[in-house]
Amino acid sequence: MKKLLVLSLAFLLIAGLPAFAGDAAAGGAPKILRISHYEVKPGKMATHDALVRQVREALNTGNANYHWIAAQPMTGNSNETVFINFYDNYAEFGQRSEEIGKAAQATFQRADFIRDVADSQESTHGIIAKLRADLSYNPQKLDIAHARQWEVSLVRLKPGTEMEFADLEKEAIELHKRGNIDEHWVTYEVQYGTAGPAFIFIRSLKTLADLDVDLKDAHKAVFNDTIRRRFSAVARESVTYEKSQILRVRPEISRPSETLVAANPDFWTVKEEPTAVATKGKAKPKTAVQPAAMKSEEKPKN
């Protein structure tokens, strides 16, 4: 059963606000996944959110093709923001990173911005992972546009046990197919950002009610006691760390791609809140503009 292998995850984070990037399709599994975990100091979430909006506003003004999905843990430490970024390949990764550097450079260099980052940021870390389609089950059901929550799991392994773990995961997939079990997960192999081999498993949730579906009988029909014991034995021998989280998507500080917005405009189109930029010790309010998710459509692309 998947739950014997996909045990859990703590989202990790790439350092600093300039880590935001990525594009995403309305459905399907992107080939490159970047997960950034931003731990915010107690009482500083409003400052943090304002910083994100300032970066987003700079990208909107520069019409930069740079996007992210923001989320907040519903379990564990909720004083965090998780940024999820998608790419088709590393070349796109590099191109998008250049775009944010150009569009938001002035924002990143402002003294008040640097001060507020230092005042609100506790720690940062991140990972980059590559799609393992052979270890994914029904990946076409990954619905990025309509996911309001994400179930995400990280499994870290002992060095040298990757192949055995992958073989067992493939067996689990075949058993799921044999039982025609109606669920999905997409697997990514971590390439940068963790010590030792690791895999990430993600599942999109349209609502938390998706977690109420009881598949216990379906699993028992294909996973007998012998298989369960064997799977548990491999997990004991190979897994060194596991943690899982449910993440709530925050469209109000996300910058989704136009494709995502078009697929689910009611969710992604949020009213842009005024941002305040420090000027000689005073905050300068800005007039509300069009929804942040749609702002980049105003200018023609080159």
Q: What is the DSSP string of 104-125?
A: SHHHHH-HHHHHHHHHHEEEEE
Place of tokens 């216990």: 216
Tokens of 10: 């703590």
Which residue in 18, 22, 21, 14 sits closest to 105, CA to CA?
Answer: 18
Interatomic CA distance for residues 201 and 132, integer angstroms = 10
What SS3 state is found at 30? coil
Could you tell me the residue ranges of all domains in the chain? Answer: 2-292
Interatomic CA distance for residues 74 and 80, integer angstroms = 10
Which residue in 56, 71, 46 sits closest to 21, CA to CA?
Answer: 56
Q: Which helix (H) or strand (E) holds 222?
A: helix 216-222
Look at domain 2-292 and name its CATH class: alpha beta
Which residue in 33, 17, 16 sits closest to 25, CA to CA?
Answer: 33
pLDDT one digit per residue (tens) for the chain, 302 residues = 333 333 222 222 223 333 333 444 434 689 999 999 999 999 999 999 999 999 999 999 999 999 999 999 998 888 999 999 999 999 999 999 899 999 999 999 999 999 999 999 999 889 999 999 999 999 999 999 999 999 999 999 999 999 999 999 999 999 999 999 999 999 999 999 988 899 999 999 999 999 999 999 999 999 999 999 999 999 999 999 999 999 999 999 999 999 999 999 999 998 766 555 444 444 444 433 334 444 444 433 43
End-to-end CA distance of the chain: 49
